[in-house]
Amino acid sequence: MTTEKKNIDILIKKGLEGAVKSPPPYVWDKISASLNTVKSGRKLLIYWLAAASFTLLIGFSAGYYLAMKKNTGINNIENIAKNNNDNQEIINKQASQAADISDNNQEHSQNTKTDKKEIALINKPESKTKKFTLSPTKTEKSPISIQALNISTPKAIEKSAVLPLIADIPNQQLAFHADLYYPESGIQPQNNNEKPHQKRNKISIGTNISPVIAYRSIQNTGSNFYDLANASRNSLAGNSLESDKSYFNTIESPRLTYTGGFGIDYSVSHRITISSGINLSNYGYNSMEIFVSEDNNALNNKIINSSAGDILVEESRGSLQDDLGKTFMLSQSSYGSALFLSQEKMNVNLSFIEIPLSIKYYFGGTSQKIYVNTGIAPSFLASGSAELKSQQIKLGKIDAVKSYNTVGFAGIGYSSFIFNNKFRFCIEPRLRYMLNPVSKIDYIRNYPYSFSLTTGLFYTF
C-alpha cells in the first residue's frame, strides 16, 4: 500500500500520535459496572442451564420411575432373589401373597382347581436353587395357567414353568416369574379376554400455529443511542439516557403477528413429555413515527431509526408523505432531510427459526389434561425487515440483528383427545422472551418477546 502523505497529514499525525491523556475516573467505574453485568449475565446463563439440566434429569428420572412403577413387584422379588438367596422365608412370603391371588382366581375360572405346588427356581449364575410354594390355577392343559393370569411369556419359560414345575430361570426371567403373583403389578386374575393394561403411546407428531402479540423491552446501557433522534425530536427525546428510552417507548407499539411450526412429543411417562420441533417465530413491533435520513454523501442507503437497529433501504420503494404534505422519495440516490410521519406506521418484523426443547408436565385424566410447559430454543435469524403498514411497501433490511439467539418460553395448556385416541388437540397461552439482546450494537439492548395462543393438533403413534 502506498500513501501519498502531505505536510498537513504529517503535522496532524505528529501532533496527535503518542499523546497521553487520562480519561475521567468515572469511565472505569462504568466499565467495571458493565463487566459485572456481563459476568452476572453469564452466571445467570450457567444457572439457567444447570436448572434446565436438572429439570431434564428430574423429568427423565421421574418418567423412568413411573414407567417402572408397575414393575415394583418384579424389582422386589428380583432383589430378594439376587441379594437374599439364602432368605427362604421372604421368598415364601411373596409366594404366599401370590397364592392368595390365585385363590381369588377361582371365582373366574370354573373347572379349575387350586393346588399347591413347589417350584424350584434355579438362579443360574449362582447355581443355587430356591424353592417356594404357590397356588397356581390349573387348567386342563397345564397345572399353572400363565394365560389365565394374562401374562404373555416367552415360550421357553412357559414350558419350563408348566410341566416339571421346576423352572430353570435365569436372573432376568426370575423377575418375570415373580411378577406373575405380585398384587401391585397390575396383573389381575381375570378372564382371558381382558387386556392386562393399556399400552402407553409414546410418540406424537403434529403441527401448531398461533396468533402472536409481539413487542420488545429495551435497555440503554450507557450512551445516547440516537443522537439523531435527540437532535431532531427534542420534544420527545432529550439528552438523557431515560429520554432516549422513553422516546422509543413513545413511538413504538406492539404488533400482531403469528408463529407456526411442527412438533414432536415423546412421552416419558403418563405425566411427563419431552417436546421438540421446529418453528418460525415472528417478533417485532410497530413504529408510529418514521425517521428517515441518509449519510453525508447521499450515496449510501437511507436509514430509518428503530430500536432494533438501523434499517437500510435497499432500493427505491416509492414515496412517503409527511405531516406537512411534503413528498419524500424513498430511493438510494435522492438527497433529503429527516422526515417524521406520525400518521404512518412502520411494521418491524424479526423472524427466527427456532428449535424448541421443552418439558411438559401433565395433570388430570387420560383424555383431557392440563399441562405446564417450559423450555428453551436456539433461535436463528431468518429475516429482519420493515415495511409501511398501510401501503405494504417494503422498506428494507434491519442491519444489526444477531444471527443466533436464545429464547426461553413457558406456558400453561389444555390437551384433549378428539375423534379417537389418536388425535390430540391442545391450546396453550405461551410467553416467549429472548434471553439475549438481539441487536449487535452494544449500547442498544433490544429483547423481543411475545404472547401467543398456541393451538396444535397432534397424532399419536
Binding site for another protein (CB under 8 A): 1-3, 5-24, 27-28, 30-32, 34-35, 38-39, 222-223, 226-228, 231-232, 293-297, 299-300, 303, 309-310, 338, 400, 441-443
- Distance separating alpha carbons of residues 67 and 45, to the nearest angstrom: 32
**Closest CB 288 distance from another protein, rounded Å:** 21
Task: Report the half-sphere exposure of 152 (CA within 13 A, side-chain side).
Answer: 5
In the complex, minimum distance from the CB of residue 54 to another protein, in angstroms, rounded to a whole number: 25
Min dist CB 306 to another protein, Å, is: 12
Q: How far is CA 364 from CA 272, 368, 372, in A?
A: 12, 7, 12
Minimum distance from CB of 19 to another protein (Å)?
A: 4
Q: What H or E segment, with its residue span, contains residue 100?
A: helix 88-104
Kindly tell me which of 300 and 319 has the beta carbon lying closer to another protein: 300
Q: How far is CA 106 from CA 62, 116, 166, in A?
A: 37, 14, 24
How far the first Cα of the chain sits from its last, in Å, is 67
Return the number of the residue (99 or 303) whose C-beta is nearest another protein. 303
Tell me whether residue 1 or residue 324 sits nearer to another protein (CB atom). Answer: 1
Closer to another protein by Cβ: residue 66 or 228: 228
Shortest reach from residue 283's CB to another protein, in Å: 21
Q: Which is nearer to another protein, 310 or 354 (CB)?
A: 310
Between 91 and 251, CB nearer to another protein: 251
Q: Are 108 and 102 in contact (CB under 8 A)?
A: no
| DSSP tag of 111 | T
* Sequence-ordered strand ranges (E) for 105-251: 117-123, 128-134, 166-167, 203-220
Q: Shortest distance, CB of residue 201 to another protein, whole angstroms? A: 49
- 43 versus 270: smaller Cβ distance to another protein: 43
How would you label 377-393 residue by residue, b for 16+ Cβ within 10 Å and e otherwise? Answer: bebebeebbbbbeeeeb
- All cell numbers assigned to 356: 424448541
Give least dist CB 347 to another protein, A. Answer: 22
